[in-house]
Amino acid sequence: MNLAAELAARGHSVFLFNQRAHLIDRDLVQRLVPTSVRVLSMADNPLRNFFAHKINALQQRLTGKANYFDRQQQQYLKRCLRQHGIEVVSSHATYSDGMCAPVMQQVPVPFIITEHGEYTIFLLEGHYGFESILQQATSLITVSNYCQEKLRNVFTDLPPLRTIYNGVVTNQTYQKAEMRKALGIGELDFVFGMAARGVALKGWEQAIEAFLQTRAAMERPSHFVLVGGSPYMDELRGRFGKEAGLHFTGRVPNPDFYMAGSDVGLLPSYFPSEALPLSVIEYMTYGLPTIATGIGGIPELIARPQQEAGLLVTIDTQTGMPSVGELATAMQRYIQDQPLYISHAVQARQLSASFTMKACADQYEEVFQVALAQSR
């Protein structure tokens, strides 16, 4: 949605095709998508959409397999492409890729697939049956070199591959003092922040344990702000909510507010395929060094040659989870070593310029223009 908004602001005619109209978050769309971007879906024709779902359900009940709705959706997509004179299709999810691929064989416009990490997960699980879909693309974009290498290591006959890092849009009007006042945190206290999906694989519990060790070992008062909501986060709040220095925000519409008041961002993830976590990029835009596990595309963000914007910790070989001891050591190091902290904070702010929505859209425009020139 952010990419669509940026491209529309540059004067392009942009359409978003929502393949799962019943799941639409209207408040989110209203907040992120300008009125100049038209959202298309089967819900544009409520009667057809209704009967397509009913027939699909009947097909599922009778045969155990249902593809009627998908076929109807593909027909509608094909009609939209022709009706609106769409010149390039940019797909950003495996479900979308699979739906678009047969249509693109019938409508001769460039088809760009972006791999956000889903195919990398398939490869890690030993599933390779999606190669034929990738081969139908005019070109492939991966959000990190990590993802690109995973594809190249398995497939030798793919369309042109290019890495384009995701861009983020942040609210730079938030002030550190505002957040700290809201949570009762002192001006000189040291604050760790973490914003991520509320699932165990992001390393929330290990981060809490490392913080509690750090708080007990350091004289300087420290805090840990946990930005995320889910039943799992509620369970953690029940276990650790009374510990001093921990602040559970729950699900919030403005995680930027809490990042603006932090000193360091955390992401001790052990998710098998961290393609390019946006939370780390968001930390960087606020000048926050990051402490994270060195998995997936994370090192590309904070551990570049001569450009360190954070500290990497390892995954414990016995538990398969981030090392709590290494996490605590890294957290204490930032509190104690001010020159290191300042150096990494400066690098984080400088590197964040590579991950703006403008930088991202510039490269997408280039890919689209090359694909259009070749098709003509």
In this structure, the answer to whether residues 316 and 183 fall within a common structural domain is yes
CA quadruple 97, 103, 105, 108: dihedral sign: negative
Task: Evaluate if residue 240 carries a pLDDT over 80.
Answer: yes
In this structure, the answer to whether residues 97 and 223 fall within a common structural domain is no
Q: Report pLDDT for 330.
A: 98
- C-alpha 274/C-alpha 296 separation (Å) is 5
In this structure, the answer to whether residues 94 and 180 fall within a common structural domain is no
- C-alpha 301/C-alpha 33 separation (Å) is 27
Task: Evaluate if residue 242 carries a pLDDT over 90.
Answer: yes
How would you list the strands of the sheet with 246-250, edge to edge? 246-250, 222-227, 190-195, 264-267, 290-293, 310-313
Report which of 207, 163, 174, 194 is spatially closest to residue 301, judged by C-alpha positions.
163
- Domain encompassing residue 196: 176-355
Q: Report pLDDT for 171.
A: 81
- C-alpha 190/C-alpha 223 separation (Å) is 6
Task: Evaluate if residue 376 carries a pLDDT over 80.
Answer: no
The more confidently predicted of residues 316 and 28 is: 316
Which pTM does this prediction carry?
Answer: 0.90
In this structure, the answer to whether residues 124 and 205 fall within a common structural domain is no
Q: State pLDDT tens for residues 29-83.
A: 888 899 999 999 999 999 999 999 999 999 999 999 899 999 999 999 999 999 9
Token pair of 313 as six digits? 């910790």
- C-alpha 61/C-alpha 70 separation (Å) is 16
- C-alpha 118/C-alpha 273 separation (Å) is 8
- Strand 303-304 with 307-308, pairing: antiparallel
Residue 154: phi and psi, rounded to 5, are -105, -40
- For the segment 3-28, the average pLDDT, to the nearest whole number, is 91
CATH of the domain at 220: 3.40.50.2000
- For the segment 247-269, the average pLDDT, to the nearest whole number, is 95
In this structure, the answer to whether residues 197 and 103 fall within a common structural domain is no
Mean pLDDT of the chain: 94
Q: Report pLDDT for 29.
A: 86
Q: Tell me how many domains the chain contains.
A: 2
Kindly indicate the confidence band of residue 185, based on its pLDDT and cuts at 50, 70 and 90.
Answer: very high
Task: Evaluate if residue 272 carries a pLDDT over 90.
Answer: no
Kindly indicate the confidence band of residue 160, based on its pLDDT and cuts at 50, 70 and 90.
Answer: very high
Kindly indicate the confidence band of residue 306, based on its pLDDT and cuts at 50, 70 and 90.
Answer: confident
